[in-house]
Amino acid sequence: MNLLRVKHLEKSFGGVSAISNLSFDLPKGIVFSVIGPNGAGKTTLFNMLCGFYTPDQGSIIFKKENAEQNKEVIYHSLHNMATHQIAACGISRSFQNLQIFFNMTALENVMVGCHLQSSSRFLPSLLRLPSVIKEEQRVKQQALNALAFCHLDHLANEMADSLAYGDLKRLEIARALASKPKLLMLDEPAAGLNDTETQQMSHLIRKICDSGVTVLLVEHNMELVMTSSDQILVLNFGHLLAQGTPDEIQNNPVVVKAYLGEDI
Amino acid sequence: MKRLSGFYLLSLVALILPQIFPDNYYLTVVGVFATLHIILAVGLNLLMGYCGQISLGHAAFFGLGAYSSAILTTRYQLDPWLAMISGMVLVFIIANLIARPILKLKGHYLAMATLGFGIIVHIIFVQTEALSGGPDGLGDIPTLSIAGWAVDSDIRWYYVTTISALGTILLSLNLIASRSGRAIRAVHGSEFAAQMMGINSNKTKVMVFVFAAVLASFAGSLFAYQQNFVSPDSFSFFFSIELVTMVVLGGMASTYGAVFGAILLTFLPELLIVFEDYEMLVYGAILMLVMIFMPQGLFISLGHQLTQLKKNYWPNKKPAGDQQ
Protein backbone atom coordinates (compact mmCIF):
# COMPACT_ATOMS: atom_id res chain seq x y z
CA MET A 1 0.00 0.00 0.00
CA ASN A 2 1.61 3.22 -1.11
CA LEU A 3 1.09 6.46 0.74
CA LEU A 4 3.09 8.66 -1.56
CA ARG A 5 4.03 8.24 -5.20
CA VAL A 6 6.70 10.41 -6.82
CA LYS A 7 6.99 10.23 -10.61
CA HIS A 8 9.62 11.67 -12.92
CA LEU A 9 10.32 14.58 -10.60
CA GLU A 10 12.61 17.32 -11.91
CA LYS A 11 13.90 20.46 -10.29
CA SER A 12 16.76 22.70 -11.27
CA PHE A 13 18.01 26.02 -9.96
CA GLY A 14 19.38 28.13 -12.76
CA GLY A 15 21.35 25.61 -14.77
CA VAL A 16 22.06 23.29 -11.84
CA SER A 17 19.89 20.21 -11.71
CA ALA A 18 19.00 19.44 -8.10
CA ILE A 19 16.62 16.55 -8.77
CA SER A 20 16.41 14.78 -12.09
CA ASN A 21 13.92 12.15 -13.17
CA LEU A 22 13.29 10.85 -9.66
CA SER A 23 10.57 8.25 -9.19
CA PHE A 24 9.80 6.21 -6.10
CA ASP A 25 6.91 4.86 -4.06
CA LEU A 26 6.67 5.34 -0.34
CA PRO A 27 4.84 2.43 1.33
CA LYS A 28 2.58 3.15 4.25
CA GLY A 29 3.53 2.51 7.87
CA ILE A 30 7.31 2.30 7.58
CA VAL A 31 10.36 4.42 8.29
CA PHE A 32 11.68 5.44 4.90
CA SER A 33 15.06 7.15 4.79
CA VAL A 34 16.57 9.29 2.09
CA ILE A 35 20.34 9.48 2.23
CA GLY A 36 23.06 10.84 0.03
CA PRO A 37 26.15 13.01 0.14
CA ASN A 38 25.83 16.76 0.67
CA GLY A 39 24.13 18.42 -2.28
CA ALA A 40 22.45 15.19 -3.38
CA GLY A 41 19.03 16.90 -3.41
CA LYS A 42 17.53 15.58 -0.18
CA THR A 43 16.38 18.92 1.18
CA THR A 44 15.17 19.98 -2.27
CA LEU A 45 13.03 16.84 -2.34
CA PHE A 46 11.62 17.69 1.11
CA ASN A 47 10.89 21.25 0.11
CA MET A 48 9.02 20.08 -2.98
CA LEU A 49 7.00 17.56 -0.97
CA CYS A 50 5.84 20.30 1.41
CA GLY A 51 5.12 22.88 -1.27
CA PHE A 52 7.97 25.27 -0.57
CA TYR A 53 9.37 24.65 -4.05
CA THR A 54 7.31 23.87 -7.14
CA PRO A 55 8.66 20.98 -9.22
CA ASP A 56 9.70 21.82 -12.78
CA GLN A 57 8.24 18.57 -13.98
CA GLY A 58 6.79 15.35 -12.72
CA SER A 59 4.12 14.60 -10.15
CA ILE A 60 3.77 13.99 -6.44
CA ILE A 61 0.66 12.07 -5.49
CA PHE A 62 -0.41 11.59 -1.91
CA LYS A 63 -3.10 9.20 -0.75
CA LYS A 64 -5.57 11.35 1.10
CA GLU A 65 -8.43 9.13 2.18
CA ASN A 66 -8.36 5.95 4.15
CA ALA A 67 -8.44 3.25 1.49
CA GLU A 68 -9.47 0.47 3.88
CA GLN A 69 -12.70 2.28 4.61
CA ASN A 70 -13.54 3.45 1.13
CA LYS A 71 -12.39 0.38 -0.77
CA GLU A 72 -11.09 2.92 -3.22
CA VAL A 73 -7.83 4.75 -3.29
CA ILE A 74 -8.16 8.49 -3.65
CA TYR A 75 -4.92 10.16 -4.50
CA HIS A 76 -4.29 13.80 -4.10
CA SER A 77 -1.87 15.56 -6.35
CA LEU A 78 0.36 17.90 -4.40
CA HIS A 79 1.43 19.74 -7.50
CA ASN A 80 0.79 23.48 -7.20
CA MET A 81 -0.71 23.28 -3.72
CA ALA A 82 0.23 25.83 -1.07
CA THR A 83 2.08 24.57 1.99
CA HIS A 84 -0.90 25.00 4.32
CA GLN A 85 -3.10 22.99 1.95
CA ILE A 86 -0.55 20.20 1.81
CA ALA A 87 -0.48 20.22 5.61
CA ALA A 88 -4.25 19.79 5.57
CA CYS A 89 -3.82 16.64 3.44
CA GLY A 90 -1.88 15.06 6.32
CA ILE A 91 1.78 15.88 5.78
CA SER A 92 3.90 17.52 8.44
CA ARG A 93 7.60 18.01 8.96
CA SER A 94 10.41 19.12 11.19
CA PHE A 95 13.13 21.44 9.99
CA GLN A 96 16.89 21.02 9.68
CA ASN A 97 17.49 24.59 10.88
CA LEU A 98 15.03 24.96 13.73
CA GLN A 99 11.77 26.75 12.91
CA ILE A 100 10.47 26.99 16.47
CA PHE A 101 8.05 29.75 17.47
CA PHE A 102 10.46 31.31 19.95
CA ASN A 103 7.86 33.87 21.00
CA MET A 104 5.77 31.16 22.68
CA THR A 105 5.99 28.52 25.38
CA ALA A 106 6.64 24.88 24.49
CA LEU A 107 2.99 24.07 25.09
CA GLU A 108 1.79 26.93 22.86
CA ASN A 109 4.15 25.73 20.11
CA VAL A 110 2.47 22.34 20.17
CA MET A 111 -0.98 23.94 20.43
CA VAL A 112 -0.23 25.69 17.12
CA GLY A 113 0.38 22.18 15.79
CA CYS A 114 -3.24 21.41 16.71
CA HIS A 115 -4.42 24.15 14.32
CA LEU A 116 -5.84 21.63 11.85
CA GLN A 117 -7.43 19.63 14.66
CA SER A 118 -9.50 22.61 15.77
CA SER A 119 -11.83 25.04 14.07
CA SER A 120 -12.54 28.16 16.18
CA ARG A 121 -12.69 31.16 13.92
CA PHE A 122 -11.67 34.80 14.34
CA LEU A 123 -14.91 36.41 15.53
CA PRO A 124 -15.94 33.73 18.05
CA SER A 125 -12.36 33.89 19.38
CA LEU A 126 -12.63 37.65 19.95
CA LEU A 127 -15.76 37.09 22.03
CA ARG A 128 -14.45 33.89 23.64
CA LEU A 129 -17.72 32.06 23.16
CA PRO A 130 -18.33 28.87 25.18
CA SER A 131 -17.51 26.74 22.15
CA VAL A 132 -14.08 28.41 21.98
CA ILE A 133 -13.36 27.76 25.65
CA LYS A 134 -14.38 24.14 25.26
CA GLU A 135 -12.13 23.68 22.25
CA GLU A 136 -9.23 25.42 24.03
CA GLN A 137 -9.37 22.78 26.77
CA ARG A 138 -9.43 19.95 24.28
CA VAL A 139 -6.54 21.42 22.28
CA LYS A 140 -4.50 21.94 25.43
CA GLN A 141 -4.98 18.30 26.45
CA GLN A 142 -4.09 17.12 22.96
CA ALA A 143 -0.94 19.25 23.00
CA LEU A 144 0.06 17.93 26.43
CA ASN A 145 -0.33 14.39 25.12
CA ALA A 146 1.93 15.16 22.16
CA LEU A 147 4.50 16.70 24.53
CA ALA A 148 4.38 13.66 26.78
CA PHE A 149 4.84 11.40 23.76
CA CYS A 150 8.13 13.19 23.08
CA HIS A 151 9.10 13.31 26.79
CA LEU A 152 8.77 17.06 27.02
CA ASP A 153 5.78 17.36 29.35
CA HIS A 154 7.95 18.68 32.19
CA LEU A 155 8.92 21.67 30.01
CA ALA A 156 5.38 22.54 28.89
CA ASN A 157 5.24 26.02 30.37
CA GLU A 158 8.83 27.04 29.64
CA MET A 159 9.43 29.67 26.98
CA ALA A 160 10.77 27.97 23.84
CA ASP A 161 13.87 30.19 23.75
CA SER A 162 14.97 28.83 27.14
CA LEU A 163 14.94 25.19 26.00
CA ALA A 164 18.09 23.19 25.24
CA TYR A 165 18.90 22.30 21.63
CA GLY A 166 18.02 18.64 21.98
CA ASP A 167 14.67 19.51 23.54
CA LEU A 168 13.91 21.92 20.70
CA LYS A 169 14.53 19.14 18.17
CA ARG A 170 11.94 17.00 19.95
CA LEU A 171 9.62 20.00 20.36
CA GLU A 172 9.50 20.33 16.57
CA ILE A 173 8.51 16.69 16.31
CA ALA A 174 5.88 17.05 19.04
CA ARG A 175 4.43 20.06 17.21
CA ALA A 176 4.33 18.17 13.92
CA LEU A 177 2.72 15.13 15.58
CA ALA A 178 0.03 17.31 17.16
CA SER A 179 -1.35 17.92 13.67
CA LYS A 180 -2.00 14.14 13.46
CA PRO A 181 -0.19 13.70 10.13
CA LYS A 182 -0.26 10.56 8.00
CA LEU A 183 3.25 11.31 6.80
CA LEU A 184 5.87 12.90 9.02
CA MET A 185 9.01 14.22 7.35
CA LEU A 186 12.04 14.59 9.60
CA ASP A 187 14.89 16.68 8.23
CA GLU A 188 18.08 15.68 10.07
CA PRO A 189 16.47 15.18 13.49
CA ALA A 190 19.77 14.01 15.01
CA ALA A 191 22.01 16.78 13.67
CA GLY A 192 23.84 18.36 16.59
CA LEU A 193 22.68 15.79 19.14
CA ASN A 194 25.06 13.80 21.36
CA ASP A 195 25.13 9.99 21.42
CA THR A 196 22.56 9.58 24.20
CA GLU A 197 20.18 12.04 22.58
CA THR A 198 20.64 10.35 19.20
CA GLN A 199 19.71 7.03 20.81
CA GLN A 200 16.58 8.61 22.29
CA MET A 201 15.75 10.08 18.89
CA SER A 202 16.08 6.62 17.34
CA HIS A 203 13.61 5.24 19.90
CA LEU A 204 11.25 8.15 19.30
CA ILE A 205 11.26 7.58 15.53
CA ARG A 206 10.44 3.90 16.08
CA LYS A 207 7.66 4.85 18.48
CA ILE A 208 6.17 7.30 15.97
CA CYS A 209 6.18 4.63 13.27
CA ASP A 210 4.58 2.10 15.64
CA SER A 211 1.80 4.59 16.36
CA GLY A 212 0.83 4.35 12.69
CA VAL A 213 2.53 7.42 11.23
CA THR A 214 4.69 6.89 8.18
CA VAL A 215 8.09 8.53 8.63
CA LEU A 216 10.22 10.00 5.86
CA LEU A 217 13.68 10.59 7.26
CA VAL A 218 16.66 12.56 6.01
CA GLU A 219 19.69 12.01 8.21
CA HIS A 220 23.48 12.00 8.02
CA ASN A 221 24.03 9.80 11.07
CA MET A 222 24.35 6.40 9.37
CA GLU A 223 23.98 4.41 12.58
CA LEU A 224 20.62 6.05 13.21
CA VAL A 225 19.53 5.51 9.61
CA MET A 226 20.57 1.85 9.53
CA THR A 227 18.96 0.97 12.87
CA SER A 228 15.66 2.86 12.44
CA SER A 229 14.86 2.50 8.74
CA ASP A 230 12.78 -0.13 7.02
CA GLN A 231 13.71 1.11 3.60
CA ILE A 232 16.38 3.43 2.29
CA LEU A 233 16.61 5.50 -0.86
CA VAL A 234 20.03 6.76 -1.92
CA LEU A 235 20.34 9.98 -3.90
CA ASN A 236 23.45 11.23 -5.64
CA PHE A 237 23.52 14.49 -7.62
CA GLY A 238 19.75 14.42 -7.89
CA HIS A 239 19.62 10.90 -9.30
CA LEU A 240 18.24 7.81 -7.65
CA LEU A 241 21.27 5.65 -6.94
CA ALA A 242 19.72 2.73 -5.09
CA GLN A 243 16.71 1.68 -3.05
CA GLY A 244 16.36 -1.18 -0.61
CA THR A 245 16.54 -2.41 2.96
CA PRO A 246 19.41 -1.25 5.20
CA ASP A 247 21.29 -4.53 4.58
CA GLU A 248 20.97 -4.26 0.82
CA ILE A 249 22.12 -0.64 0.85
CA GLN A 250 25.12 -1.36 3.08
CA ASN A 251 26.29 -4.07 0.69
CA ASN A 252 25.57 -2.19 -2.50
CA PRO A 253 28.90 -1.46 -4.26
CA VAL A 254 27.49 1.59 -6.10
CA VAL A 255 26.45 3.22 -2.82
CA VAL A 256 29.78 2.47 -1.17
CA LYS A 257 31.53 4.02 -4.15
CA ALA A 258 29.44 7.19 -3.99
CA TYR A 259 30.12 7.62 -0.29
CA LEU A 260 33.71 6.51 0.06
CA GLY A 261 35.14 6.91 -3.44
CA GLU A 262 36.80 4.21 -5.54
CA ASP A 263 39.80 2.10 -4.72
CA ILE A 264 42.88 3.18 -6.55
CA MET B 1 -10.37 34.15 36.52
CA LYS B 2 -6.58 34.56 36.59
CA ARG B 3 -6.23 35.29 32.86
CA LEU B 4 -8.23 38.51 33.17
CA SER B 5 -7.19 39.69 36.65
CA GLY B 6 -5.10 42.52 35.16
CA PHE B 7 -8.04 43.58 33.04
CA TYR B 8 -10.42 43.72 36.01
CA LEU B 9 -7.92 45.77 37.99
CA LEU B 10 -7.50 48.19 35.08
CA SER B 11 -11.28 48.52 34.64
CA LEU B 12 -11.72 49.19 38.35
CA VAL B 13 -9.11 51.95 38.38
CA ALA B 14 -10.38 53.50 35.14
CA LEU B 15 -13.98 53.64 36.38
CA ILE B 16 -13.27 54.70 40.00
CA LEU B 17 -10.89 57.57 39.16
CA PRO B 18 -13.61 59.89 37.75
CA GLN B 19 -15.68 59.34 40.91
CA ILE B 20 -12.80 60.81 42.92
CA PHE B 21 -11.70 63.52 40.47
CA PRO B 22 -14.80 64.39 38.41
CA ASP B 23 -13.42 67.72 37.16
CA ASN B 24 -9.75 66.91 36.75
CA TYR B 25 -8.36 68.22 33.44
CA TYR B 26 -5.85 65.41 33.09
CA LEU B 27 -8.49 62.76 33.59
CA THR B 28 -11.44 64.05 31.59
CA VAL B 29 -9.62 65.85 28.77
CA VAL B 30 -6.22 64.23 28.36
CA GLY B 31 -7.72 60.94 29.57
CA VAL B 32 -10.14 60.87 26.62
CA PHE B 33 -7.22 61.16 24.20
CA ALA B 34 -5.33 58.49 26.12
CA THR B 35 -8.26 56.06 25.82
CA LEU B 36 -8.63 56.74 22.09
CA HIS B 37 -4.90 56.13 21.73
CA ILE B 38 -5.31 52.88 23.65
CA ILE B 39 -7.84 51.62 21.06
CA LEU B 40 -5.41 52.50 18.28
CA ALA B 41 -2.31 51.12 19.98
CA VAL B 42 -3.95 47.85 21.06
CA GLY B 43 -5.08 47.27 17.47
CA LEU B 44 -1.70 48.17 16.03
CA ASN B 45 0.02 45.96 18.60
CA LEU B 46 -1.94 42.96 17.29
CA LEU B 47 -0.47 43.65 13.87
CA MET B 48 3.05 44.75 14.89
CA GLY B 49 3.73 43.12 18.22
CA TYR B 50 1.95 39.81 17.77
CA CYS B 51 1.91 39.28 14.00
CA GLY B 52 5.25 40.98 13.30
CA GLN B 53 4.01 43.14 10.42
CA ILE B 54 4.88 46.83 10.55
CA SER B 55 2.48 49.57 9.50
CA LEU B 56 3.55 53.19 9.16
CA GLY B 57 0.17 54.25 7.85
CA HIS B 58 -2.18 53.37 10.66
CA ALA B 59 -3.29 57.01 11.12
CA ALA B 60 -4.94 56.74 7.68
CA PHE B 61 -7.61 54.36 9.00
CA PHE B 62 -8.13 56.57 12.05
CA GLY B 63 -8.60 59.47 9.63
CA LEU B 64 -10.91 57.53 7.30
CA GLY B 65 -13.16 56.72 10.26
CA ALA B 66 -13.14 60.32 11.46
CA TYR B 67 -13.83 61.79 8.03
CA SER B 68 -16.54 59.23 7.23
CA SER B 69 -18.36 60.25 10.38
CA ALA B 70 -17.75 63.95 9.81
CA ILE B 71 -18.84 63.98 6.16
CA LEU B 72 -21.82 61.68 6.51
CA THR B 73 -23.26 63.52 9.53
CA THR B 74 -22.68 67.11 8.36
CA ARG B 75 -23.21 66.83 4.62
CA TYR B 76 -25.73 63.99 4.46
CA GLN B 77 -27.37 64.37 7.90
CA LEU B 78 -26.87 60.71 8.65
CA ASP B 79 -27.33 59.42 12.20
CA PRO B 80 -23.93 59.48 14.00
CA TRP B 81 -24.13 55.75 14.79
CA LEU B 82 -24.95 54.86 11.19
CA ALA B 83 -22.13 57.12 10.01
CA MET B 84 -19.75 55.34 12.38
CA ILE B 85 -20.78 51.91 11.10
CA SER B 86 -20.55 53.11 7.47
CA GLY B 87 -17.01 54.30 8.19
CA MET B 88 -16.09 50.92 9.64
CA VAL B 89 -17.56 49.11 6.62
CA LEU B 90 -15.67 51.43 4.27
CA VAL B 91 -12.41 50.86 6.13
CA PHE B 92 -13.10 47.11 6.18
CA ILE B 93 -13.33 47.15 2.38
CA ILE B 94 -10.33 49.44 1.82
CA ALA B 95 -8.16 47.55 4.30
CA ASN B 96 -9.05 44.25 2.63
CA LEU B 97 -8.20 45.62 -0.79
CA ILE B 98 -4.82 47.04 0.15
CA ALA B 99 -3.83 44.31 2.62
CA ARG B 100 -3.82 41.53 0.05
CA PRO B 101 -1.06 42.94 -2.16
CA ILE B 102 0.77 44.91 0.57
CA LEU B 103 1.16 42.14 3.13
CA LYS B 104 3.01 39.95 0.65
CA LEU B 105 5.87 42.41 1.22
CA LYS B 106 8.22 41.99 4.14
CA GLY B 107 10.25 44.23 6.46
CA HIS B 108 11.39 47.51 4.98
CA TYR B 109 9.29 47.07 1.86
CA LEU B 110 6.13 46.66 3.90
CA ALA B 111 7.09 49.77 5.90
CA MET B 112 7.49 51.75 2.68
CA ALA B 113 4.19 50.54 1.22
CA THR B 114 2.16 51.36 4.34
CA LEU B 115 3.95 54.70 4.60
CA GLY B 116 2.92 55.47 1.03
CA PHE B 117 -0.67 54.50 1.74
CA GLY B 118 -0.78 56.80 4.78
CA ILE B 119 0.56 59.72 2.79
CA ILE B 120 -1.88 59.17 -0.08
CA VAL B 121 -4.87 59.13 2.28
CA HIS B 122 -3.59 62.29 3.98
CA ILE B 123 -3.29 64.04 0.61
CA ILE B 124 -6.85 63.00 -0.24
CA PHE B 125 -8.09 64.63 3.00
CA VAL B 126 -6.32 67.86 2.05
CA GLN B 127 -7.25 67.94 -1.63
CA THR B 128 -10.92 66.92 -1.75
CA GLU B 129 -12.03 70.32 -0.46
CA ALA B 130 -15.63 70.07 -1.64
CA LEU B 131 -16.15 67.00 0.52
CA SER B 132 -13.61 67.15 3.34
CA GLY B 133 -13.23 70.90 3.72
CA GLY B 134 -9.59 70.71 2.74
CA PRO B 135 -6.83 72.00 5.03
CA ASP B 136 -9.35 74.08 7.00
CA GLY B 137 -11.09 70.96 8.18
CA LEU B 138 -14.74 70.23 8.79
CA GLY B 139 -16.70 71.50 11.80
CA ASP B 140 -20.15 71.33 13.41
CA ILE B 141 -20.07 67.57 13.70
CA PRO B 142 -22.92 66.44 15.96
CA THR B 143 -22.14 64.47 19.08
CA LEU B 144 -23.21 60.93 19.85
CA SER B 145 -26.24 60.13 21.91
CA ILE B 146 -26.98 56.78 23.44
CA ALA B 147 -30.76 56.25 23.67
CA GLY B 148 -31.42 59.91 24.38
CA TRP B 149 -28.39 60.32 26.66
CA ALA B 150 -26.31 62.90 24.77
CA VAL B 151 -22.57 62.55 25.19
CA ASP B 152 -22.01 66.26 25.59
CA SER B 153 -19.69 66.77 28.56
CA ASP B 154 -16.07 65.86 29.24
CA ILE B 155 -16.92 63.35 31.90
CA ARG B 156 -19.51 61.62 29.71
CA TRP B 157 -16.95 61.35 26.92
CA TYR B 158 -14.51 59.91 29.41
CA TYR B 159 -16.93 57.10 30.20
CA VAL B 160 -17.73 56.38 26.54
CA THR B 161 -14.13 56.25 25.37
CA THR B 162 -12.93 54.41 28.47
CA ILE B 163 -15.53 51.68 28.10
CA SER B 164 -14.70 51.43 24.39
CA ALA B 165 -11.01 51.10 25.20
CA LEU B 166 -11.69 48.48 27.88
CA GLY B 167 -13.78 46.57 25.35
CA THR B 168 -10.92 46.68 22.86
CA ILE B 169 -8.46 45.43 25.47
CA LEU B 170 -10.80 42.55 26.31
CA LEU B 171 -11.17 41.60 22.63
CA SER B 172 -7.39 41.66 22.22
CA LEU B 173 -6.80 39.52 25.31
CA ASN B 174 -9.43 37.03 24.16
CA LEU B 175 -8.01 36.83 20.66
CA ILE B 176 -4.44 36.21 21.77
CA ALA B 177 -5.47 33.33 24.03
CA SER B 178 -7.23 31.54 21.16
CA ARG B 179 -6.55 29.46 18.08
CA SER B 180 -6.54 32.54 15.84
CA GLY B 181 -4.24 34.35 18.28
CA ARG B 182 -1.75 31.50 18.25
CA ALA B 183 -1.86 31.47 14.45
CA ILE B 184 -1.07 35.20 14.47
CA ARG B 185 1.90 34.72 16.78
CA ALA B 186 3.09 31.68 14.85
CA VAL B 187 3.28 33.74 11.65
CA HIS B 188 5.57 36.09 13.57
CA GLY B 189 7.67 33.26 15.01
CA SER B 190 8.26 31.38 11.75
CA GLU B 191 6.07 31.85 8.73
CA PHE B 192 7.23 28.64 7.05
CA ALA B 193 6.56 26.53 10.14
CA ALA B 194 3.18 28.21 10.58
CA GLN B 195 2.23 27.20 7.03
CA MET B 196 3.44 23.67 7.69
CA MET B 197 1.04 23.53 10.64
CA GLY B 198 -1.80 24.32 8.22
CA ILE B 199 -2.03 28.05 8.86
CA ASN B 200 -2.82 30.19 5.84
CA SER B 201 -0.30 32.90 6.68
CA ASN B 202 -1.47 35.41 4.08
CA LYS B 203 -5.06 35.16 5.25
CA THR B 204 -3.97 35.47 8.88
CA LYS B 205 -1.99 38.63 8.19
CA VAL B 206 -4.86 40.19 6.22
CA MET B 207 -7.29 39.34 9.03
CA VAL B 208 -5.19 41.10 11.68
CA PHE B 209 -4.54 44.08 9.43
CA VAL B 210 -8.23 44.53 8.69
CA PHE B 211 -9.23 44.11 12.34
CA ALA B 212 -6.69 46.73 13.47
CA ALA B 213 -7.90 49.06 10.70
CA VAL B 214 -11.56 48.71 11.68
CA LEU B 215 -10.68 49.40 15.32
CA ALA B 216 -8.82 52.54 14.19
CA SER B 217 -11.86 53.63 12.18
CA PHE B 218 -14.04 53.18 15.27
CA ALA B 219 -11.63 55.31 17.31
CA GLY B 220 -11.60 57.88 14.50
CA SER B 221 -15.39 58.23 14.58
CA LEU B 222 -15.35 58.70 18.36
CA PHE B 223 -12.63 61.31 17.89
CA ALA B 224 -14.70 63.23 15.32
CA TYR B 225 -17.81 63.29 17.54
CA GLN B 226 -15.83 64.26 20.61
CA GLN B 227 -13.96 67.10 18.91
CA ASN B 228 -16.92 68.21 16.73
CA PHE B 229 -14.20 69.10 14.24
CA VAL B 230 -11.69 67.25 12.06
CA SER B 231 -8.75 68.50 10.04
CA PRO B 232 -6.06 66.61 8.07
CA ASP B 233 -3.35 67.55 10.58
CA SER B 234 -4.61 64.97 13.07
CA PHE B 235 -4.04 62.11 10.61
CA SER B 236 -0.62 62.87 9.23
CA PHE B 237 2.43 60.64 8.91
CA PHE B 238 3.64 61.92 12.29
CA PHE B 239 0.63 60.51 14.07
CA SER B 240 1.30 57.09 12.47
CA ILE B 241 4.83 57.26 13.86
CA GLU B 242 3.51 58.26 17.26
CA LEU B 243 1.27 55.17 17.27
CA VAL B 244 4.21 52.93 16.37
CA THR B 245 6.19 54.57 19.18
CA MET B 246 3.41 53.81 21.67
CA VAL B 247 3.50 50.12 20.77
CA VAL B 248 7.30 49.85 20.79
CA LEU B 249 7.83 51.96 23.90
CA GLY B 250 5.18 50.12 25.90
CA GLY B 251 6.46 46.71 24.85
CA MET B 252 5.76 44.72 21.72
CA ALA B 253 3.55 41.66 21.84
CA SER B 254 1.85 42.68 25.06
CA THR B 255 -1.65 44.15 25.14
CA TYR B 256 -0.98 45.87 28.47
CA GLY B 257 2.31 47.14 27.03
CA ALA B 258 0.39 48.92 24.27
CA VAL B 259 -2.04 50.34 26.86
CA PHE B 260 0.87 51.55 28.96
CA GLY B 261 2.63 53.07 25.94
CA ALA B 262 -0.52 54.88 24.83
CA ILE B 263 -1.12 56.36 28.29
CA LEU B 264 2.50 57.36 28.71
CA LEU B 265 2.87 59.04 25.32
CA THR B 266 -0.38 60.94 25.78
CA PHE B 267 0.52 62.29 29.22
CA LEU B 268 4.23 62.84 28.73
CA PRO B 269 3.91 66.02 26.59
CA GLU B 270 1.42 67.39 29.13
CA LEU B 271 3.79 66.79 32.01
CA LEU B 272 6.81 68.11 30.12
CA ILE B 273 5.18 71.52 29.62
CA VAL B 274 7.19 72.66 32.66
CA PHE B 275 10.32 72.47 30.49
CA GLU B 276 8.80 75.08 28.16
CA ASP B 277 11.12 75.55 25.17
CA TYR B 278 12.99 72.35 25.91
CA GLU B 279 9.83 70.21 25.99
CA MET B 280 10.45 68.31 22.75
CA LEU B 281 14.12 67.89 23.63
CA VAL B 282 13.34 66.17 26.91
CA TYR B 283 10.59 64.15 25.24
CA GLY B 284 13.03 62.84 22.63
CA ALA B 285 15.68 62.13 25.24
CA ILE B 286 13.24 60.08 27.33
CA LEU B 287 12.27 57.97 24.29
CA MET B 288 15.94 57.37 23.46
CA LEU B 289 16.89 56.39 26.99
CA VAL B 290 13.99 53.98 27.31
CA MET B 291 14.94 52.25 24.07
CA ILE B 292 18.62 52.05 25.04
CA PHE B 293 18.08 50.67 28.53
CA MET B 294 14.77 48.86 28.04
CA PRO B 295 14.77 47.64 24.45
CA GLN B 296 11.90 45.27 25.16
CA GLY B 297 9.69 48.20 26.11
CA LEU B 298 8.81 49.79 29.42
CA PHE B 299 6.00 47.50 30.46
CA ILE B 300 7.84 44.25 29.78
CA SER B 301 11.20 45.42 31.17
CA LEU B 302 9.60 46.81 34.34
CA GLY B 303 7.71 43.55 34.70
CA HIS B 304 10.98 41.59 34.56
CA GLN B 305 12.58 43.95 37.09
CA LEU B 306 9.67 43.49 39.49
CA THR B 307 9.89 39.71 39.23
CA GLN B 308 13.62 39.94 39.86
CA LEU B 309 13.10 42.18 42.90
CA LYS B 310 10.52 39.78 44.24
CA LYS B 311 12.99 36.90 43.85
CA ASN B 312 15.77 38.85 45.59
CA TYR B 313 13.72 40.09 48.51
CA TRP B 314 11.36 37.19 49.08
CA PRO B 315 13.47 34.16 48.27
CA ASN B 316 11.64 32.14 50.94
CA LYS B 317 8.54 34.26 51.21
CA LYS B 318 10.23 36.38 53.87
CA PRO B 319 8.95 39.92 54.23
CA ALA B 320 11.31 42.55 52.85
CA GLY B 321 12.03 44.09 56.27
CA ASP B 322 13.66 40.89 57.52
CA GLN B 323 16.59 41.17 55.11
CA GLN B 324 19.92 41.71 56.82
- Convert the pLDDT of each residue in B139-188 to its tens digit: 999 999 888 888 888 899 999 999 999 999 999 999 999 999 999 999 99
**Which residues in B lie closer than 8 A to residue A187 (C-beta atoms)?**
none
> Distance between CA atoms of B271 and A39, rounded to whole angstroms?
63
Q: Mean pLDDT in chain B?
A: 91
Question: Across residues B96-124, what is the average pLDDT?
Answer: 94
pTM of the full structure: 0.91
- Compute the count of residue pairs across chains A and B with CB atoms less than 8 Å apart: 104
Note the pLDDT of residue A196: 92
Q: Is the confidence at residue B303, as pLDDT, over 70?
A: yes
Share of chain A above pLDDT 70, in %: 93
Q: DSSP letter at B146?
A: E
Note the pLDDT of residue B71: 96
Poorest-pLDDT segment among A30-44, A230-244, B61-75, B283-297: B283-297
Of the pLDDT bands very low, low, confident and very high (cuts 50, 70, 90), residue B282 is confident
Right CATH for B9-293 from 1.10.357, 1.10.3470, 2.40.160, 1.10.15: 1.10.3470
Note the pLDDT of residue A15: 84
Residues of B with CB under 8 A from a CB of A: 171, 174-175, 177-183, 185-186, 188-190, 192-201, 207, 211, 253
Mutate to test the interface with A, among B7, B168, B179, B214 (most CBs of A within 10 A): B179
Question: Taking the CB of residue B128, how many other CB atoms lie within 10 A of it?
Answer: 13
Of the pLDDT bands very low, low, confident and very high (cuts 50, 70, 90), residue A201 is very high
Domain boundaries, chain B: 9-293
> Distance between CA atoms of A172 and A160, rounded to whole angstroms?
11
Question: Across residues A29-42, what is the average pLDDT?
Answer: 89
Q: Mean pLDDT in chain A?
A: 89
In chain B, how long is the greatest CA-to-CA distance?
74
ipTM for the predicted complex comes to: 0.90
Instruction: Pick the more confident residue, A68 or A182.
Output: A182
- Cross-chain Cβ contact A101/B192 below 8 Å: no
Question: Across residues B19-48, what is the average pLDDT?
Answer: 92
Note the pLDDT of residue B76: 94
- Cross-chain Cβ contact A132/B178 below 8 Å: yes
Nearest CA in chain A to B252: A103
Q: Is the confidence at residue A2, as pLDDT, over 90?
A: no
Nearest CA in chain A to B199: A84
Report the residue from A84, A95, A100 with minimal CB separation from B199: A84
Instruction: Pick the more confident residue, B279 or A188.
Output: A188
DSSP B41-107: HHHHHIIIIIT----S-HHHHHHHHHHHHHHHHHTS---HHHHHHHHHHHHHHHHHHHHHHHTTS-H
For residue B150, the surrounding DSSP H or E stretch is strand B149-150
- Cross-chain Cβ contact B181/A125 below 8 Å: yes
Q: Is the confidence at residue A164, as pLDDT, over 60?
A: yes
